[in-house]
Amino acid sequence: MVTTAWFSVGRLDMTVLPLERASLVLEAVPSAADVERIRRFTAAHPNVQWTEAEQFVIDLAGIERAEEKLTVMVHTATFDDTMNTINEQLDAYANAAKLVQESEQLRLILQTILALLNHLNGSTMAEKVVGGFCTSQLAELDEGNQRVQLELEQLDFEHPVLAVRLGEMRRRLEEMADKLVRVK
């Protein structure tokens, strides 16, 4: 086993040392300081009969860059699974964004909110118009969008009534968006 592991790590061969065993060996790899201590100790005690476990650790300490090689072996063995998991998560995020973007319910909610804001905004028709955005543009909006942030700040400043209610409406919108994402 010791010789097999030694040659397997040296060649980065996962057929001889499968993932489960490579992970276990990686946990047992001595640190650089431990390797130096082991080398000094074995040099000071050359005629000692070692147990199988001690001999394994001594042989493991003798492998150049054993920790790096084992880490590469484990990473290589798990790379495809990790990539598949990441791709599945990215697909789920893309599908969720598409569902939100194409959601008729969200469009109706946003239209209702815009109508409510237009009603609260002023007394004349010119004062009542609040600009909105299409749900097809949802993918382009983000928290750091300066134009949206400036408009929200202007609404907060100009309309104290909206400033009080905007936080509550924002919270309700976030709750509805969370529910829409979960519906899928």
pLDDT in tens, 30-77: 888 888 888 888 888 877 788 888 888 888 888 787 788 888 888 888
Distance CA(48)–CA(144), nearest Å, equals: 67
The reported pLDDT for the residue numbered 4 is 61
The reported pLDDT for the residue numbered 60 is 80
pLDDT at 80 over 50: yes
133: alpha, beta or left? (left if phi > 0; alpha if psi -120 to 50): beta
pLDDT at 143 over 50: no
The reported pLDDT for the residue numbered 58 is 81
Distance CA(66)–CA(35), nearest Å, equals: 10
